[in-house]
Amino acid sequence: MRNFGAVVSLAALATALTACGGEQGTDEKPAETIAEDAMTSDSDDISVSEADLEGNPFTVAWDTPYGAPPFSEITDEHYMPATKAAILELRAEIDAIVNDADEATFENTIVALDLAGKQLSKVSNTFGNVTNTDTNDTLRALESEIYPMLTREFNTILFNEALFDRVKSVYAQKDALGLDEQDARLLELTHRDFIRAGAALDKETKDRVAEINEEISALTTTFGQNLLKATTGFKLEITDPAELGGLSESFTAAIKVDGEDKWVVGLNRSPFETFMTQSTNRELRRQLFDGYRLRASEGENDNGPVAIKIAQLRAERAQLMGYESHAHYQLETRMAKTPEAAEEFLLRVWRPGLARAREELADIQSLINADGEGFTAAGHDWWHYAERVRQDRYAFDDAALAPYFELDAVRQGAFDMATKLFGVTFDEVETPVWNPVVTSYDVKDENGAHLGLFMMDMYARESKRGGAWMSTYRDASDISGDRIRPIVTNNMNLITPPEGEPTLMRFDEVETLFHEFGHGLHGLMTQIRYENFSGVDGPRDYTEFPAQILEHWASQEQMLADYAQHHETGEVIPGDLIEKMRNASTFNQGFKTTEYIAASLLDLAWHRLTPEEAAEITDARAFEREVLERYGLPEEIEPRYRSQYFAHIFAGGYSAGYYAYMWSEILDADGFMAFQEAGDIFDPELSQKLKTWVYEAGGLREADELYRNFRGKDPEIEPLLRVRGLDSAGG
């Protein structure tokens, strides 16, 4: 998943400025929330003195390798004055555009807008990324102040009538300006951004939209902070070694508390799933399961009322802007176009997925019965017994794979893949880092030219949000010969092994690394000169495609021979183990498909509400229960995210868009099939097309056209169903 939350450039004023990437994570505070969820039409009365800025690292050019932030010099106290100073600088830049005595032109208005706010991006990108990886109480308090401040500022810009008049003036001349393709796209998107933000509304409506945005901005911050506190506040503590039954030695060692006879499991997805799969203690599985699914659902961290209020405000805003619902507004510029089309697509996969899930549940119950157990399978049993069914059916134990997937080797395998596909190379370098575990790489193209700095933060910690994501500290641009290359990050939450031990990964974690690496390449390889649509750009239901397609390479035998070697013996993963892994790859896809689509349908249900319908909701869990029962979700399967911890949609950039991961899966399954048909997973012609029309192209054209230019045709859904093993299931 990409994290758009750190991006606050005018480059994407009214569109997604924040979060994307791997499906395994949650979104944090999104730039989309900053721009989409703005505040009042009057900006803050902001001032900052020279004394406030004395010694502030943000006030000087960074003489660091690759221009990386000097993290050791930046303290929490530097962010607020630096943000205020950057806002004042942005105001001066906007005033210069508005007050230019010359007639509005592409250069003095449209390009000037793309260039505006560089200093603010520098500050807020750093702030947004650090609060996601190493937060504390001070930073959380600053989020509640800084994000609303930024939101107000962006609304003021987007609702500036004199500025919009200049944009309209240039747009009216678009056919006579002789613009090249990138120039024309910048003009088109800039005008569209203003329109979709509400710049053309009457003053009274704009004022109300701005008020709504103010509330949403505050609420999304509250939602994210409640979730973080609820997540880190839960700990399953084990003091009796007898209760560790089924847990592997490596996992047991990883969760042991140093110096104590105690083992602790939290709610990060990786340790959660490992424990739920391995543990033979049904009661402990239930406790952890309930801790996970009931997060932020009661007490001071209850996100239910917050979610309801956000949905109500989004529904009202959509109506004010002339749309049937928030979902209709959001999907207008995406590949699905309408929520009805998104739902129809989801249901095409839901039906066979649900049928397969019922078969899987029957297999699980049969195994429980065969064990002589006297209980009916419940949600907290699924992971454990599904793994046992898989071992029985395929003679395959997922734990047998881990010794072949050591982090450093997997990472190098991803790098080697990128070199073979696109000619890019990765050299480890020393740079400032925000945490000692971070590694940095100088990325070069096939000619040895610098493409960007790539930084990887792979381990979980209390100060870091959960999930996996890609983000940027600096985006790419190349205007008037000022070539700026990006600083891109990948983040995961792997369990830190005991000192001196290797970091061994489950194969789904390997796929996640390749996924986030795909987002990283999308940001690093861009050849777009305007920030507005450089790097990871495009509609939500397309931007996952460049990440998801690379997951296919992770399991190819040719790739496995390159990176899947036993961490102790160096033995390449045996062919029979690969065959077992491949045969078992579609196992439990009914469950995985169903839990994901259930969350996607829940997202659409929240955001298809009219203001009148939204006003009637008083209990978030009752609402979601009614929605999920309507679609027939079995009670033994939880949706991937319940409302109170669905940060993708209530604290991130995926509102009405969580379906995008599966929509993009149509593209990645169909796209990888082209390489299979070519008989070469590194086919030079296809690799060049993928490079040119996907990884380098940003948002140069509409997403469906970019895909067709790569693939030569529109995608088909059948490859997706085959990949998930659902082509013969259900109706």
DSSP state of 435: S
519 with 550: CB under 8 angstroms?
Answer: no
Euclidean distance between CA atoms 431 and 456, whole angstroms? 12
295 with 227: CB under 8 angstroms?
Answer: yes
Task: Give the catalytic positions in this structure.
Answer: 516
Euclidean distance between CA atoms 637 and 680, whole angstroms? 39
Q: In 321-458, which residue ranges form alpha helices assigned H by DSSP?
A: 326-331, 339-370, 382-394, 407-422
Euclidean distance between CA atoms 634 and 632, whole angstroms? 6
For residue 361, give the amino acid letter: L
* Nearest Cα residue to 128 out of 432, 434, 431, 429: 434
Euclidean distance between CA atoms 72 and 317, whole angstroms? 42
DSSP state of 256: B
Tell me the CA distances in angstroms from 191 to 123, 172, 273, 580, one per residue in order. 26, 10, 45, 53
- What residues contact residue 622 under an 8 Å CB cut-off, 6+ apart? none
Tokens 């209020």 locate to 309
Q: In 175-202, which residue ranges form alpha helices assigned H by DSSP?
A: 181-197
Euclidean distance between CA atoms 132 and 540, whole angstroms? 21
Euclidean distance between CA atoms 391 and 409, whole angstroms? 26
Burial 411-448 (b: 16+ CB within 10 A, else e): bebbbebbebbbbbbbeeeebbbbeeebbbbbbbbeee
505 with 407: CB under 8 angstroms?
Answer: yes
544 with 664: CB under 8 angstroms?
Answer: yes
Strands 469-474 and 477-479: what pairing? unpaired
Euclidean distance between CA atoms 398 and 48, whole angstroms? 57
Euclidean distance between CA atoms 228 and 463, whole angstroms? 9
For residue 712, give the amino acid letter: G
364 with 379: CB under 8 angstroms?
Answer: no
Euclidean distance between CA atoms 266 and 289, whole angstroms? 11
The tokens describing 609, both together, are 């509400």
Tokens 């190098």 locate to 412
Burial 592-620 (b: 16+ CB within 10 A, else e): bbbbbbbbbbbbbbbbbbebeebeebeeb
Other CB atoms closer than 10 Å to residue 694's CB: what's the count?
A: 26
